[in-house]
Each structure stands twice: as structure tokens, then as C-alpha cells.
């Protein structure tokens, strides 16, 4: 068994957004902020506008290519290490296709699932390596993530 398994993958799948997508986002945000202002909830209206502006900026930039590594200490993503004691289980989704994804269930509140693409990595070696440290349990992407991908985020 190798000491480490290292690969590079994008942080998320990117879909190009046309001007229609940004217009729709702006119209929905402006309408929501207007309704909040009509109910005299000005702070919420401001929060909607700032959040929409931030979302538009993040949606326009292309994803970064991250380095993923499976080490004896844990799963490393760039400079962040997730020790195996902090992880619950793993699952490799679509392992028979070219678009296999590694899904790791974590104990962290803000990072409940770690999802990494395994496009250029040997799926069987990743599975064999992780089985030494974590149980394999069928996992799915969170509903909110699937919903956001459907809307092009």
C-alpha cells in the first residue's frame, strides 16, 4: 500500500453563466429586498443585496484546482488536514464511470461532507487505502448541494 495517495481536482464543477442568469439573480434579489423593505425590515433587505452581490462574485470566478492527499494522519486538502478521528465514513459514488466522486462524512458542523472528484485517480486504490482507517457506508451529496448545482451555482 502506498504511503500517500495524491491527486489534483477542481473544488467544484463550474457551469458558465450567461448574462440571463445574472439578470434573473438580480431581479429575484431586488424583488426580495423590495418586499423586505415594504415590511420595514431594512436590515434584511440590505443582507439580501449584500448576499446576492457576494454570490454573483463567487459564481463568476472559475474554481481553483486543489491538491487532495490521503495520508496516514488523515485527508489533506491543500493545507487543511482532516484527521481520521474527525471523519465518520466514506463512499465512492459512480465508481464505474469516469466521474467518480469521493464523499467523506465528517463530524464538523460547517463541513458535514467532503466531496472530491476522482477523475484521474485509481478508484480501487483510494477505496483500499481508506478502508484501513474508515468504514465504507453509502452516502449521498446533501440535498442543498444538489439543488444549488441544478440552479447553476
The separation between the first and the last C-alpha atoms of the chain, rounded to the nearest angstrom, is 38
Residue 1 has pLDDT above 60, yes or no: no
Residues 50 and 102 in one domain: no
CA–CA distance, 109 with 84 (Å, rounded to integer): 16
CA-nearest of 91, 97, 94, 25 to 58 is: 25
Most confident of 3-12, 34-43, 83-92, 121-130: 34-43
Residues 74 and 121 in one domain: yes
Residues 112 and 100 in one domain: yes
3-class secondary-structure state, position 8:
strand
Residues 28 and 89 in one domain: no
Among the residue ranges 95-99, 102-106, 128-132, 148-152, the one predicted with the least confidence is 95-99
CA angle 76, 81, 84 (to 5 degrees): 90
Q: What is the pLDDT of residue 2?
A: 64
CA–CA distance, 96 with 143 (Å, rounded to integer): 23
Residues 43 and 67 in one domain: no
Residue written as cell 439573480?
A: 25
Residues 67 and 78 in one domain: yes
pLDDT tens digits for range 10-58: 877 777 888 998 999 999 999 999 999 999 999 999 999 999 999 899 8
* Domain carrying residue 99: 5-12+63-150
Into how many domains does the chain fold? Answer: 2
CA-nearest of 15, 25, 22 to 62 is: 15
Residue 97 is placed in which grid cell?
Answer: 464511470
Residue 111 has pLDDT above 80, yes or no: no
Most confident of 1-5, 14-18, 37-41, 88-92: 37-41
Amino acid at each position: 500500500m502506498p504511503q500517500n495517495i495524491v491527486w489534483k481536482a477542481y473544488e467544484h464543477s463550474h457551469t458558465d453563466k450567461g448574462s440571463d442568469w445574472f439578470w434573473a439573480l438580480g431581479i429575484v434579489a431586488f424583488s426580495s429586498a423590495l418586499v423586505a423593505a415594504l415590511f420595514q425590515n431594512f436590515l434584511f433587505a440590505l443582507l439580501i443585496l449584500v448576499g446576492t452581490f457576494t454570490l454573483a462574485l463567487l459564481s463568476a470566478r472559475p474554481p481553483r484546482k486543489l491538491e487532495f492527499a490521503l495520508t496516514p494522519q488523515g485527508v489533506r486538502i491543500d493545507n487543511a488536514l482532516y484527521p481520521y478521528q474527525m471523519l465518520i465514513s466514506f463512499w465512492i459514488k459512480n465508481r464505474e464511470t469516469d466521474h467518480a466522486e469521493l464523499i467523506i462524512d465528517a463530524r464538523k458542523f460547517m463541513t458535514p461532507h467532503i466531496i472530491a472528484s476522482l477523475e484521474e485517480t485509481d478508484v480501487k486504490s483510494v477505496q483500499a487505502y481508506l478502508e484501513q482507517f474508515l468504514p465504507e457506508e453509502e452516502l449521498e451529496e446533501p440535498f442543498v448541494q444538489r439543488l444549488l448545482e441544478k440552479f447553476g451555482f
